[in-house]
Amino acid sequence: MRAAWPVRLVLWALVAIFVLWPGLFAPLLRPLAPPGMPVVYDRASLSGLTAWHLGLVAAAIVPSALMAIGLAILVTRPAGADFLPLARALGGFGQTFPPVAVLALAVPVVGFGAWPTLIALFLYGLLPILENALAGLTGVPPSVMLAADGMGMTPRQRLVRVELPLAAPLIVEGVRISAVIAISTAAIGSTVAAPGLGEVIIAGLNANNMAFVVQGGLLTAALALIVHDALGLAGGLVGPRGARARTAAA
């Protein structure tokens, strides 16, 4: 999706205004709320919940990405090649595991709050990134690997200068998939008392207040779209198009 810049900026601005001054939108939401009920979620600030939501996602996905990339590098080196089939099978296997199940299964182990959500996001985040990083690292053309060795690159130089840059677009795509799923799972995390925008939706469902459901839903959806779009842009920067921009700058 190549959203044009004006659309992108308008979306960012709308979300920022909504998060900071939700009262401005109260007239729009009023018809959805039952008479006498609050229109804007009042038990916590939307900006705080948004920050928690994104913070949880970042706190889970960053270590997740580092670990998944590390694992992918490990199993694509000669010393770790033996683990490649297992890593591949695990990657495919984990994609089949429903994110809600990961969350539900984490609760018995670590209890309620932010932790089960963080663990579920971390674990579920690993697999798409691992799978994409493996695809990227094993997809480097044999002639390019041969040339890198033939030019006298050490294994580490080949990894840093050739393999990782070539795998980067796919790796970023994996991070993108993981991040979008994490935003979705973090919302469900509110059912186990993780702070985040899911709280607003659940409060709305419990109190039958559609205004809450809609504002929580719209904000969560907007966050997911923004992150999806931003990581798509990042993917463009590390791809071949970005390579030329970097060369031109050098």
Amino acid at 191: T
> Could you tell me the smallest distance in angstroms from the CB atom of residue 182 to other proteins?
10
Amino acid at 54: L
Among 22, 99, 174, 195, binds other proteins (CB under 8 A): 99
Among 72, 123, 162, 170, binds other proteins (CB under 8 A): 162
Amino acid at 121: L
CB of 190 within 8 A of CB of 202?
A: yes
Q: Is 85 in the site for other proteins (CB under 8 A)?
A: yes
Q: Is 202 exposed, middle or buried (0-12, 13-18, 19+ CB in 10 A)?
A: middle
Judged by CB under 8 A, the stretch of 9-17, 18-26, 43-51, 138-146 that binds other proteins is 138-146
Site residue total, other proteins (CB under 8 A): 70
Instruction: Sketch the per residue contact string, 39 through 78, with other proteins: x for CB under 8 A, - otherwise.
Output: ----------------------------------------
Q: Is 95 in the site for other proteins (CB under 8 A)?
A: yes
Q: Is 82 in the site for other proteins (CB under 8 A)?
A: yes
> Could you tell me the smallest distance in angstroms from the CB atom of residue 244 to other proteins?
6
Question: Rounded to whole angstroms, how far apart are CA atoms 11 and 17?
Answer: 10
CB of 13 within 8 A of CB of 221?
A: no
Q: What is the dihedral of CA 67, 70, 72, 76, to 10 degrees?
A: -160
Among 11, 58, 59, 105, binds other proteins (CB under 8 A): 105
Reference 1, options 245, 173, 242, 167; nearest CA is: 173
Q: Is 143 exposed, middle or buried (0-12, 13-18, 19+ CB in 10 A)?
A: exposed
Question: Rounded to whole angstroms, how far apart are CA atoms 230 and 180?
Answer: 11
Q: Is 153 in the site for other proteins (CB under 8 A)?
A: yes
Q: Is 14 in the site for other proteins (CB under 8 A)?
A: no
> Could you tell me the smallest distance in angstroms from the CB atom of residue 25 to other proteins?
15
Instruction: Return the structure tokens found at 191.
Output: 């059912």
> Could you tell me the smallest distance in angstroms from the CB atom of residue 165 to other proteins?
5
Instruction: Sketch the per residue contact string, 185 through 204, with other proteins: x for CB under 8 A, - otherwise.
Output: --xx--xx-----x--xx-x
Q: Is 15 in the site for other proteins (CB under 8 A)?
A: no
Q: What is the 3-state secondary structure (H, E, C) of 55-120?
A: HHHHHHHHHHHHHHHHHHHHHCCHHHHHHHHHHHHHHHHHHHCCHHHHHHHHHHHHCCCHHHHHHH
Write out the residues near other proteins by the rule CB under 8 A: 1, 32, 80-83, 85-86, 88-90, 93, 95-101, 104-105, 107-108, 112, 141, 143-144, 146-154, 157, 161-162, 165-166, 180, 183-184, 187-188, 191-192, 198, 201-202, 204-205, 210, 213-214, 216-218, 220-221, 224-225, 228, 240, 243-244, 247-248, 250
